[in-house]
Copies of this chain bind each other. A is one copy, B any other.
Amino acid sequence: MAAADPVPEGALVLIAGAGRLPMLVADSLNRARRPFRLIALRGFTDRSLRARADATVDLLDLAATLKLLRRWGPAVVVPAGGVARPSPAAIFNAAAALRNRETLRAIAGGGDDRLLRAALALVEEEGHRVLGVHEAAPDLLCPEGRLGGLGPDQAAAASIRTGRGVLAALSPYDLGQAVAVSGDRVLAVEGPEGTDRMLSRARALGRKPFGLGRALPATVLVKAPKLGQDLRVDLPAVGPRTVRNAARAGCVGLALEAGGTLVIDRAATAVEADRLGLFVVGYGAAP
């Protein structure tokens, strides 16, 4: 999970979903002097990137995407950025045009990721290779050590150990990419609702216990991918907004698995952390 393979030969195709990430990946590829083609997704890809696209397709038109890849391929495909939440049922229906409906229903019954994973499997069945952002642009991942000027004190380090233990214990199950830990007490475990909502739960809880205010041990957000998680589909990510939300939830810092967590805009994240007095630290994955 940590060290990325070198990007293999073959036309590299970046499929750009929503948000800043596709732009950051494009910049990273440019820095690495790696030429690539860009597929924009209508309604998702950021305007600044749309102008640079080699082609624009509908998210739901998998057939069109496959046709493009076939023309350029065998290609190395890098999906980046958010896509689906708007209308997942529509994605399902689109995929059903290409694949057995019952199989898809079984796939959809499981975790959030499976539908996207199934789409990527379709791409791979056609002889292309799918790489994650963590492989195509490894410089976007959290490194080991501090990102800003601050580091965890002894109490926070203990909370980080507890959080890592909880995440490791939950790793075999389909949940749990983040926890909020106060002292040795776990305030919240992230489910499918995402880190931001988990943090607002921690915030609500952090206010209550015992009315002791400052005596309540400082809270730390700990974040890591699941064991065996397909990072091409779901790479844990943080950014300046995560730092702000963590600060609002009463956190003193963020601990991220190095090489397994994406930092959206590392410089801005570090600046925001320093401004708000939080640490952001990358820890080595368990051996």
Contacts and interface: CB of A to CB of B under 8 A. Distances in A.
A89 B205 CA distance: 15
A176 interface: yes
A100 interface: no
A193 interface: yes
Contacts of A216: 109
Interface in A58-93: 87-89, 92
Given A175-B186, A175-B189, A211-B89, A217 B169 contact: no
A186 B190 CA distance: 10
Given A89-B211, A192-B209, A111 B185 contact: yes
Interface string A165-205: 11001101111100000011111110111000000010011
Given A109-B183, A189-B176, A191-B189, A210 B165 contact: no
A207 to B, nearest CB: 12
A186 B193 contact: no
Q: How many copies does the complex hold?
A: 2
Nearest to A169: B169
Contact of A185 (B174, B184, B209): B174
Nearest to A162: B173
A105 interface: yes
Contacts of A115: 210
Nearest to A215: B105
Most buried by B among A183, A192, A217: A192
A174 B170 contact: no
